[in-house]
Chain A
Amino acid sequence: MSGLAVDGDLIVGDVPDQVAQANPEFERAAEKAESRRGLIMALPAYLYLLVFFALPLVIVFVYSFATRNRFGGTDLSGWNVEAYRKLGEPIVRDILFRSLWLAIITTVLCLLFAYPFSYFLATRSATTRNIMLVFVMIPFWSNFLVRNYAWRVLLGNDGPVSQITEAIGLGETRILFTPLAVVIGLVYGFLPFMILPLYASIERIDMRLLEASRDLYASGWQSFRRVLWPLSRPGVIAGSILVFVPSLGAYVTPEILGGAKTTLLGSYIVTQFLTARNWPVGASLSFVLMSVMLGATLVYFRNGGRTL
């Protein structure tokens, strides 16, 4: 029907027979025209992404099998999997595990703060809730680099944190350039990513179920463990992926807050390109990183995650 209605100008009001007769060929032609229009509308973005996204992706894949020559350049010949084999070397393995470990800690910490926060948020009145949400959105939208830099100032030598700990007699603190500083920066950067999906899923839960569990003599912990937690699981999974994935590929945060001993995957990849000039290794690592992200995203969508 929509084909007829859309091409309204073709239908002349005073010849109803033509409309009444279902003409399969006419229908098909209209459908084809529709399809063509859709394609034409999509085409500019489609072509753009093919040239400036899909093609670059293929190039990275190709480079990961290329050979590095003696002059720091890359020869697109002598195809091999050397770059992937290098991922098993101790240096790279250490970096992979360290990145994984920090990303996991970051995710768990975010969950620990965000879960009670989101539950609290869901218990507020609509007005309070909206105000509270706005104040979660502000840091969420604020410049990421600047937010990391703020911690550099706070944790720096003689910085406010150190001044406070000295004042209360704990002595100078030296957090900057340690893995702890990186974790603080990552939690600071990605906490809103955990709060928003968690809040969305907790807010949707029918709270009468919680009341029912209490009526049936469940303790607070039991009703959390058996009712609230399972029902909020989609939010937990969505939030965890949204935090874990960017933490794993983080570059800016470890560069600003981390030290020489806390090289993470992101920084290592950048080094391979900008200083070490080992493009095949950098390309293979970026490809591995992307595969992890794609896998995680598939899990996310499997679990019915929708709010990207």
Chain B
Amino acid sequence: MSSPTSPVLPRGKTRIGLTMNAWLVYVFFYAPILLLVVFSFSNDRNVGRWGGFTLDWYRAFGENEEIQQSLSASLRVALISTVVSVVLGTMAALALERFSFRGKKVFDGLLYLPIIIPDVTMAVMMLLFFSQLFDALDAWFGLGLSKGFTSIVLSHVAFSISFVSVVVRARLAGMNDQLEQAAFDLYASRWQAFRHITLPLIAPGIIGGALLAMTLSLDDVVITQFVSGPGSTTLPVYVFSLIRRGVTPLINAVSVVMLAASITLVALSLLADRAKSSPQPTPSKETDNA
């Protein structure tokens, strides 16, 4: 909520200082990104030098099979983990906001942990868990499973549920349940009330949560690196390994494509945000990808 009187900008030097600082922050935010876009079109083997316009690196991006494979893996992982975490996260949010049940406090705490926990710790947890699990499955049933697509999806769902439920809960908390009660008074069944009243009202929250889950899934490097197996890496993990081997203009082009994808997702989430009737603070991604 805005304060009774909006703050006044001080005069004189302070004012100039504040304005300059604001510009500086924006230059700091955007100069690196814009320069990266420029250099992705540069016809020079040195990643940070302008050597005339070319689309070669984008062509190389399109032709590189490993990149295409990891890109498609990334998209499939993001899609599946988003759908699963949206369903589970929304149900959790409804349960926590609209019901009281045994063990609610514990569940609430458990739901917050994946948001707080550092990426590296989560990665370690998943690595140890899956190696234990696969050892056990091998010993008991003789299943020779190994880390790969499934373990990546399972891990992504594990951290996405919490983010989805936080976003949906913010939306649910912002609306009272009078409309739902009215629907019940008018003999709506539980399902009808949910389908025709609750769901449309929380839809922006669900969409926002889904976009957040998708962004997190497409962003993740550390956790995925720990649970992926040979032949099953996502694009960020593959790019990360490329960068460590040495930078090439090809990485510039891949980066710009990834950047464009995340900016599209931001734009979509801002649109979803605008559809919200009440102004609410946008939940942040917090510790993601540290």
Q: Which residues of A contact B (CB under 8 A)?
A: 2, 5-6, 8-9, 34-39, 41-42, 44-46, 48-50, 52-57, 59-60, 63, 113-114, 116-117, 119-123, 126, 132, 134-147, 149-154, 156, 158-160, 163, 188-189, 191-193, 195-196, 200, 202-208, 210-211, 220, 242, 245-253, 255-256, 265-266, 269-270, 273-274, 279, 282-283, 286-287, 289-290, 293-294, 297, 306-308
Q: Given A140-B284, A144-B288, are A135 and B102 neighbors across the interface (CB < 8 Å)?
A: no
Smallest CB gap from A202: residue in B: B7
B57-98 interface (Cβ within 8 A of A): 87-89, 91-92, 94-96, 98
Q: Is the interface of B mostly helix, strand, loop or mixed?
A: helix
Q: Given A45-B165, A50-B110, A252-B290, are A208 and B6 neighbors across the interface (CB < 8 Å)?
A: no
B227-272 interface (Cβ within 8 A of A): 236, 239-240, 243-244, 247, 251-252, 255, 258-259, 261-263, 265-266, 269-270
Considering only CB atoms and an 8 Å cut-off, how many residues of chain B contact the other chain?
Answer: 114
B113 interfacial by beta-carbon distance below 8 Å: yes
Instruction: Tell me the smallest distance from the CB of B223 to a CB of chain A, in Å.
Output: 10
Q: Which residues of A contact B24 (CB under 8 A)?
A: 113
Q: Which residues of B contact A6 (CB under 8 A)?
A: 181, 184
Q: Which residues of B contact A220 (CB under 8 A)?
A: 10, 14
Is the Cβ of A138 less than 8 Å from the Cβ of B263? yes
Is the Cβ of A143 less than 8 Å from the Cβ of B259? yes
B176 interfacial by beta-carbon distance below 8 Å: no
Is the Cβ of B269 less than 8 Å from the Cβ of A141? yes
Is the Cβ of B9 less than 8 Å from the Cβ of A123? yes
Point out the residue from B6, B47, B99, B270 that lies within 8 Å of A156, measured CB to CB.
B47
| Alpha-carbon separation in the docked complex, A132 to B23 (Å) | 11
Point out the residue from A138, A160, A249, A251 that lies within 8 Å of B35, measured CB to CB.
A160
7 other A-B residue contacts (CB within 8 Å) besides A5-B181, A46-B103: A37-B99, A39-B102, A120-B21, A141-B262, A145-B239, A200-B281, A251-B290
B30-78 interface (Cβ within 8 A of A): 30, 32-33, 35-36, 39, 46-49
| Best-surrounded residue of B24, B25, B30, B96 (most CB of chain A within 10 A) | B25
Instruction: Tell me the smallest distance from the CB of B98 to a CB of chain A, in Å.
Output: 7
Is the Cβ of A39 less than 8 Å from the Cβ of B126? no
B226 interfacial by beta-carbon distance below 8 Å: yes
Q: Given A208-B4, A279-B128, are A145 and B219 neighbors across the interface (CB < 8 Å)?
A: yes
Instruction: Tell me the smallest distance from the CB of B282 to a CB of chain A, in Å.
Output: 7
Is the Cβ of B19 less than 8 Å from the Cβ of A120? yes
B98-142 interface (Cβ within 8 A of A): 98-104, 107, 110-121, 123-129, 132
Point out the residue from B88, B128, B243, B286 that lies within 8 Å of A59, measured CB to CB.
B128
